[in-house]
Amino acid sequence: MLVWSHCSRRIIGPVRTSEVTAALLLRRKRWQACESRRYKSNTTNDAKTENNRTAEKDEKPFYVTTPIFYVNAAPHVGHLYSMVLADTFRRWKQFMGRDTFLLTGTDEHGMKVQQAANKIEKPVKQFCDETSQLFKNLAAEAHISNDRFIRTTDEDHREAVHKLWNTLVEKGYIYKGKHEGWYSVSDETFYPESQLKRVFDQSSGVTKVYSNETGKEVEWASEENYFFALSRMREPLLELYNSRLEDKFVYPYSHFKTIIDSVEKGLSDLSISRPSSRFTWGIPVPGDESQTIYVWVDALTNYLTSAGYAKLTGSEFEKSMWPVDIHVVGKDITRFHCIYWPAFLLAAELPLPKHIVVHSHWLMNGEKMSKSSGNIVDPHAVMVIAGVDSVRYYLLRHNILEGDGDFDTERVLERRQADLVFKYSNLVSRTCSKSFSIELALSHHLKGYPIPATRSDKFLAFQSEMITEANSLVDNVAKHMNNFNPTGALGEIWDVLKKANQYVDYATPWNTESSNISPTIFVMAEMCRIISIVLQPFLPTYASKALDRLSVSPERRSIEYAKFEADMAYGKDANLPNRGHVVERQN
């Protein structure tokens, strides 16, 4: 059969139907196998062994990205969620001994930005500077450990966009033609007929057309543009997806399935420029300033920019931190990241990202947060009320990638008190009571002080089981993090934390004779120390405060110390009075 491009009004080339059919049948078989397993990791992809952790140190930096955020409006809690997810993945890999790089930033070109600035009669660059700073401030306030905050107005980014454009031209993937189609001003993209729905408006008597994916209205438009030959990429993309089903190229797999189904239906060539006569705020097409580069070509290239793409030669770039290890994106931009972006990279013969992790949305009263709906949650205000790590905890613990969560500030405060104050902070406070001495308990343990004979077999069995779980905590958390599941990872930590609190209640050290108390205090202190070490990638501030409270040296907070008896040189001054709480109680 032949593939027809309606954009260019020309035939792209022959496609062997039998090859496509065979490939799709194979893909469906593999898809069914993956579905039946619910995408459980192979045992070889489970938690890293100590040898594997050491080997990771010799690899390229683990490169994690957030989407770059559009500056047509101020940040909301959904933007914060993307940042916190990416930051947690980065911090975990760093904890595992890997060199890392985290990128976030702002997308500052496009029609919507131009319109937003014009609406308030402000120069576009000034508008971008001010709004971009809001996102930069949010990252700093939320303790996001980004190595670069990129802006698409940065000069090296402009150079990178031009380099990618010229590469695609040289390889024959860009041409000029007339484009007619359904265009969404809000989404800044043309949509094919297969992705549209028509709704009759009874009030006006007019049938309106909307995007199935975003729900935004589209209008018929005709203009001269440059095109990317996306229709030629259908088979390469399906081959890519087929080969990457089991290694989580796109995760969760419900989103991967949606992407594959969309590409199977066919791809139209993609308009990748706009006339400069109506769209000036962007990067001009090299050699043709009558056209401005389409915002998604511009925006997606930021990931290359930060890897040094503009300056490095082919062999030099191969030795850089490229490719991206984890792209974190919202589910509303999967088409751009999972279809267009791999297509650009395949066409340019550049290595593909390893994983694209798609997260769900935060809703308020069942509706997506948006400026137009007026239901935006100000992340700054919530962090001021509840504390940064309390908000991080809520975002990570009480939402899953597959389903939307409902954000409620009162619920954030409830979980803060129940989980962070009463379970975590209270355990540390009880262990660091002025009635005890961690330093003395460690000294007694080194001298082999026996466990009191009054302890029952049931108590000793519980203690042994708890210590075993604490020693396995890193590996159990790693299993979840290898599956991009910080919710499950925190669940593992809180399961061990629950046992530690039960142990304290069971041991009642405040009722134990001082001569017999050291073995219990030693176990309590070790549980606090190990839990806090493993908690660092998720709640960096609270974990750091707990380790400070226990007087654990900063040099002894890495992964190799997350075992019983791995550090026997802490506790000095830990039991002095009036040293405060890890998480302060609120009235």
Question: What is the CA angle 57-250-54, rounded to 5?
Answer: 10
- Interval 452-470: pLDDT, tens: 777 899 999 999 999 999 9
- Interval 124-141: pLDDT, tens: 999 999 999 999 999 999
Asked if 333 contacts 356 with a C-beta cutoff of 8 angstroms, the reply is no
317 three-state secondary structure: helix
CA dihedral 351, 352, 354, 358 (to 10 degrees): 160
Question: Cis link prior to 275 (omega < 30° from 0)?
Answer: no
Q: How confident is the model at residue 260 (pLDDT cuts 50, 70, 90)?
A: very high
Asked if 139 contacts 83 with a C-beta cutoff of 8 angstroms, the reply is yes
Asked if residue 49 has pLDDT above 50, the reply is no
Asked if residue 339 has pLDDT above 70, the reply is yes
- Interval 491-515: pLDDT, tens: 999 999 999 999 999 999 888 776 6
Q: How confident is the model at residue 153 (pLDDT cuts 50, 70, 90)?
A: very high
Q: How confident is the model at residue 284 (pLDDT cuts 50, 70, 90)?
A: very high
pTM metric for this prediction? 0.86
CA dihedral 475, 481, 487, 490 (to 10 degrees): 30
Asked if residue 298 has pLDDT above 80, the reply is yes
Residues 6+ apart with CB under 8 A from 544: 536
343 compared with 116, residue with greater pLDDT? 343
- Interval 308-331: pLDDT, tens: 999 998 889 988 999 999 999 999
Q: How confident is the model at residue 46 (pLDDT cuts 50, 70, 90)?
A: very low
Residues 6+ apart with CB under 8 A from 578: none
CA Rg value for the chain: 27
Which of 144, 154, 164 shows the shortest CA–CA distance to 100?
144
Q: How confident is the model at residue 186 (pLDDT cuts 50, 70, 90)?
A: confident
Alpha helix locations (H) across 407-456?
A: 409-415, 426-431, 438-446
Report d(CA 554, CA 536) in Å as an integer: 12
CA 489 from centre of chain: 15
- Buried b / exposed e over 150-162, threshold 16 CB at 10 Å, is bbbbbeebbebbb
Residues 6+ apart with CB under 8 A from 380: 137, 138, 141
- Interval 11-44: pLDDT, tens: 333 334 344 344 444 544 544 454 444 334 433 4
Write the DSSP symbol of residue 331: G
Would you state the structure tokens that stand for residue 207, as one six-digit string?
């049938």
What is the mean predicted confidence (pLDDT) over 242-264? 96
Give residue 300's identity as a one-letter amino acid code.
Answer: L
Delineate the domains of the chain, giving CATH numbers in brackets: 2-359 (3.40.50.620), 417-561 (1.10.730.10)
